[in-house]
């Protein structure tokens, strides 16, 4: 790039399994850098919500594709108060349940769904200056992202975090069932044929087990400084 050309601010991709700390780290990082933060899981959760409202199952991908073509899914507000709108209706709270997370994972395996959400995600990050978290940001959505992080944590730690998150929201749950559900979700997200959860070859892996949110942020900032 020539010295005078304006350099695009980086795209920072944070991928990893459920409850690995992506959204906590992503929000803090975006806040520190003054970047836009996009939680792409919210888009898949919105699709899960839409399908459940319409009574559509993953066995009817064409029906879902038709419905998605007619129903805009948009993000509004800012990182501190992000709104997810489906056909203009604010579903930000409703999509955060375990049930919708499960549906999001099931529907996210459909190529029709991934295709429909690809353009939305690329448009959101097109200008750079964005921290985007998900499962395939560094591999499929922005394979040229300047910074790629793969965030993980032990199964035990992730189950504990997810259980605490649910309890904080007043959702009663059995810790064993939370652990089993995370296992099912991991397996589905890693083994689907389309855009499975994978570590991009040029991603930096960070294991957040035993690290505080501040320590995770410091490690990611060190990668950003080195790469961006």
Q: Does 104 bind ligand DC (CB under 6 A)?
A: yes
Q: Residue from 10, 21, 134, 138 that binds ligand DC (CB under 6 A)? A: 134
Residue selected from 20, 25, 45, 147 as contacting ligand DC according to rule CB under 6 A: 45
Cα–Cα dist 116/184, whole Å: 24
Stretch that binds ligand DC, among 62-70, 100-108, 199-207, 210-218 (CB under 6 A): 100-108
Helices 111-125/61-70 angle, 10° precision: 30
Range in contact with ligand DC (rule: CB under 6 A) among 66-74, 102-110, 147-155, 174-182: 102-110
Nearer to ligand DC by C-beta: 136 or 157?
A: 136
Who contacts 42 (Cβ-Cβ below 8 Å, separation ≥6)? Answer: 75, 82, 84, 92, 95
Strands (E), 28-105: 36-39, 73-76, 83-86, 89-90
Instruction: Considering the complex, state which of residue 18 and residue 145 has its C-beta at the smaller distance from ligand DC.
Output: 18
Q: In the complex, what is the shortest distance from the CB of residue 20 to ligand DC, in angstroms, rounded to a whole number?
A: 9
Q: At its nearest, how many Å lie between ligand DC and the CB of residue 1?
A: 28
Residue 10 sits in the site that holds ligand DC (CB under 6 A): no
Nearest to 21 by CA among 46, 41, 1, 47: 41
Query: For ligand DC, which residue of 92, 105, 112, 152 counts as binding (CB under 6 A)?
Result: 105
Judged by CB under 6 A, the chain residues 57 through 96 that form the site for ligand DC are none
* Min CB(15)–ligand DC separation in Å: 7
Tell me how far, at minimum, the Cβ of 39 lies from ligand DC, in Å. Answer: 7
**In 3D, which of 216, 210, 48 has the Cα closest to residue 133?**
216
Sign of CA dihedral 81, 78, 223, 13: positive
Q: Is 41 in the site for ligand DC (CB under 6 A)?
A: yes
Query: Which strands make up the sheet holding 83-86, listed edge to edge?
Result: 73-76, 83-86, 89-90
Beta bridge partners of 131: 12, 37
Query: Taking each helix axis from N to C terminus, what angle separates 41-54 and 111-125, rounded to the nearest 10 degrees?
Result: 140
Residue in the block written with tokens 């949110």: 213
- Min dist. Cβ of residue 223 to ligand DC (A): 20
- From 73, 91, 136, 206, residue interacting with ligand DC (rule: CB under 6 A): 136
| Interface residues toward ligand DC, by CB under 6 A | 18, 40-41, 44-45, 101, 104-105, 108, 134-137, 185, 189
């Amino acid at each position: 790039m020539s010295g005078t050309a304006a350099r695009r601010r980086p795209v920072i991709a944070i991928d990893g399994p459920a409850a690995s700390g992506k959204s906590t780290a992503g929000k803090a990082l975006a806040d520190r850098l003054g970047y836009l933060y996009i939680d792409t899981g919210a888009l898949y959760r919105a699709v899960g919500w839409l399908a459940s409202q319409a009574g559509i199952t993953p066995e009817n991908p064409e029906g879902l594709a038709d419905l998605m073509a007619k129903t805009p899914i948009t993000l509004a507000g800012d990182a501190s108060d992000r709104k997810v709108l489906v056909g203009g209706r604010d579903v930000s709270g409703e999509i955060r349940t375990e049930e919708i997370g499960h549906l999001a994972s099931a529907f996210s395996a459909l190529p029709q769904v991934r295709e429909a959400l690809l353009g939305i995600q690329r448009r959101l990050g097109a200008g750079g200056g964005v921290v985007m978290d998900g499962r395939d940001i560094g591999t499929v959505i922005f394979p040229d992202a300047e910074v790629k992080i793969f965030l993980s944590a032990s199964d035990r730690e992730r189950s504990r975090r997810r259980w605490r998150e649910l309890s904080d929201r007043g959702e009663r749950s059995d810790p064993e069932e939370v652990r089993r559900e995370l296992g099912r979700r991991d397996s589905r997200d890693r083994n689907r044929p389309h855009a499975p959860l994978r570590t991009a070859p040029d991603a930096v892996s960070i294991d957040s087990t035993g690290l505080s949110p501040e320590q995770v942020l410091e490690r990611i900032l060190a990668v950003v400084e080195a790469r961006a």
